[in-house]
Chain A
Amino acid sequence: MHIDLTWIDYSILALYTAFVVGIGFALKKYMKSSSDFLTSGRSIPAWVTGLAFISANLGALELVGMAASGAKYGIATAHFYWVGAIPAMVFLAVFMMPFYYGSKARSVPEYLKLRFDERVRALNSVSFAVMTVFASGISMNALAKLLNQLLGWDYHMALWICSGIVLVYVLKGGLTSAIYTEVLQFFMIVLGFAPVVYLGLKDAGGWSGVKQQLTNVASNPAAVNLVDDAAKKFEPNAWTSAWQPLIGGPSANPMGVDIFAMVFGLGFVLSFGYWCTNFLVVQRAMAAKNMSAARRTPLIAAVPKMVFPVLVILPGMIAVALTAIPDKGYRLPQSQIVEAKYPAAIAALKESAAQNADLKETIKSVSSAAGVGFNTAKVEALVKDPALASLSDDALKPRLQDAVVNDYDGVILSLVKRYCPPGLLGLALTALLASFMSGMAGNVTAFNTVWTYDLYQAYIAPHKSDEHYAWMGRAVTVVGILLSIGAAYFASMWTNAMDIIQLVFGFVNAPLFATFLLGMFWARTTATGAFVGLLLGTATSALFHAMTIAVGNVPGVKGGYIAQVATFPSDMAQNFWLAAFAFTVCFVLTAGISLTTARTKTDDELKGLVYSLTPRLKDEETSWYLKPAVVGIILLAVCVLMNIIFW
């Protein structure tokens, strides 16, 4: 099952490792003060921060999660880009960056302290720190799992060694090292992955071939275990059209979402919450050498972001298309039933069938005997087969294995396995490694800055020497990586990493954008309003999660453990609605409480922090076509065009 690497693959892996570690060592001599280590001393050109901005976001979320979603949901996954990311990135560049960069805050929580007070900062920095650790842990878990499945490397060893490499270069060169390696990783990911997508596309008969196959799949998705209901049919364009299936409502698209949840929940709340307030990405722009470079950072990042669906979503669609072509000999990856567990699983299946047991109970008993999850439609077909009792174990084994649920997170590696000869294999693997490392380094550098400046210096040990904080920045880098490893073990309990990340973002980010929106654009917003609004907004997230559930999920970690007030057609829909609720609660409460409480900051104190009280920024660019607003409008126009093309 495992692939054996040859000397050329190891050489490419080793070269990459040597270069990222080398960059860390080359930068070591520039790391003098705590600000050199934690904020890069604001010295980096825009194209570098721009590519790092996008690369820090290229963790498990992108390569593994987006390919998984591409297979499960088709081209509608691109909404994460063309509805979500791009408009939010343009908004950040044009409207919000002047306040982040101009306020001289060293972090997003510190901006909140300047704009509101310590309470808001404390709340945000604690929740952000927890979130970065989780995001980084999820990413590393996916990586270790992948290396384990593909190469047979030990899960624990893979996890610790990869984290160790990140630790070395971040420890040596701080944020600058993370940003520089992120640029290298950006090119590695794109150049390592593009040939795999190209070969897959060629194999599946080009874009028109993929479209043709996905049309067939839509009429019988249960055949490839894409849905649990054998009778479920979608319109032919369910996987190949971005908007039309959404108009038909949650039951007409595989994502199970409606258009409001998509546009408001994802497009507005989650995306703006992530791109505009998440210090992980904003930190890259804040490290830029001047205001104009800081504002250009998200705009430069938006260009590759716009075409990334080709690199990250298309592979998932190719995988489904290949599965639908019988003579390709490809199947969406599944967990494998261990040979020793077959007898118990087959016995459980036959016993349930003989007793005419309830289908849910049957799946439960077979799953626990086999150690993997099963597709309802396929098990139903097995149980209803009149010949079942007389079938031999050997005849049943392949049918039972075929009924195992798809392991969507394995889509990427199954394509790498299929198409890469030695050489390209090394390159593609290195690209995967690079994406996980950039995600982890991004989270760790954001974590150590927030810890050192917003928690340690602010509350635990103020008025210490700068050497002390520089030391603390390094020490907490080690702690952050250890916590991430802990989170990785925790995350290994889930099946779809993407849904968890969305859940965590939903809890923390959704209400947050309301706080920033009101804080930056309405001078009347008070600290008490912001604090209570944010606190209750986050509480709403948790409560909403505890009281709603998605179809097919068991109450517990997936929600619904207090009550089941509402049932959503999918995890995705539950997440989007959660975000919409939390945002609305935070917005209304912040605005309402602000009107009834007294302002604590004068207009003068809010200069540079609030839109209406800050003098208009004079663009530094001489040519009109370089102005952030103009570039932003062009990007949005191209984005609209993309949505129309794939309508």
Chain B
Amino acid sequence: MGLDIRYPIGLMFSIIGALMAVYGLVAKADPAQYHQPAGTNINLVWGIFLLIFGGWMLMMAIKAKKQNK
């Protein structure tokens, strides 16, 4: 089937990851308003992780496309 599912997965998690990481960075400036469970800025940490995961998925998809050519 003509769609490599790694593109949408990679793209979606990259966007969500970037969104969360930036939100974590900005919200950190106001610690009184920002709930950090168990002392972790979880948005920043997990956002970066999702960004890496999304990027890796995209890379795999692009690599597969090149190989098929």
Give A residues with C-beta under 8 Å from B.
8, 11-12, 15-16, 19, 22-23, 26-27, 30, 40-41, 43-44, 48, 176, 180, 183-184, 187, 191, 195, 199, 202-203, 418-424, 427
Contacts and interface: CB of A to CB of B under 8 A. Distances in A.
9 contacts: A23-B3, A30-B2, A41-B1, A48-B5, A187-B13, A191-B49, A202-B40, A418-B37, A421-B35
A421 B36 CA distance: 7
Contact of B16 (A15, A195, A202): A15
Contact of A8 (B2, B11, B19): B19
A195 to B, nearest CB: 5
A187 B24 CA distance: 22
Given A23-B8, A180-B5, A191-B50, A424 B15 contact: no
B37 A8 contact: no
Contacts of A23: 3, 5, 8
B50 A184 contact: no
Interface string B4-35: 01001101110110011001100100000011
B12 A423 contact: no
Contact of A199 (B20, B23, B24, B40): B40
A637 to B, nearest CB: 29
A199 B37 contact: yes
A180 B3 CA distance: 9
A48 B1 CA distance: 12
A421 B37 contact: yes
B37 A40 contact: no
A8 B23 contact: yes
Nearest to B53: A191
A427 B1 contact: no
Contacts of A19: 8, 11-12
Interface size class of B (residues with CB under 8 A): 20 to 34
Contacts of A48: 5
Nearest to A187: B9
Contacts of B61: none
Given A8-B19, A8-B20, A191 B42 contact: no
A424 B42 contact: yes
Contacts of A44: 1
Given A424-B43, A427-B16, A199 B5 contact: no
A565 B37 CA distance: 52
A26 B12 contact: no
A418 B37 CA distance: 8
A421 B5 CA distance: 30
Contacts of B1: 27, 30, 40-41, 43-44, 176, 180
Nearest to B36: A421
A522 to B, nearest CB: 38
Contacts of B46: 195, 424, 427
Contacts of A43: 1
Contact of B42 (A16, A180, A418, A421): A421
Given A12-B20, A23-B5, A30-B2, 13 more contacts: A8-B23, A15-B16, A19-B8, A26-B8, A41-B1, A176-B1, A183-B5, A184-B12, A191-B50, A199-B37, A199-B40, A203-B37, A424-B46
Contacts of B3: 23, 26-27, 180
A49 B53 CA distance: 20
Looking at A27, A420, A427, the one whose CB has the most chain B CB atoms below 10 A away is A427
B42 A199 contact: yes
Given A23-B3, A40-B1, A424-B43, A199 B9 contact: no
B27 A421 contact: yes
A184 B37 contact: no
Contacts of B49: 191
Contacts of A8: 19-20, 23
A423 B15 CA distance: 13
A202 B38 contact: yes
Given A199-B38, A203-B37, A423 B13 contact: no
B15 A15 contact: yes
B9 A184 contact: yes
B20 A184 contact: no
Contacts of A424: 20, 42-43, 46
Nearest to B39: A202
Contacts of A176: 1
A12 B35 contact: no
Contacts of A427: 16, 20, 46
Contact of B12 (A16, A199, A421): A16
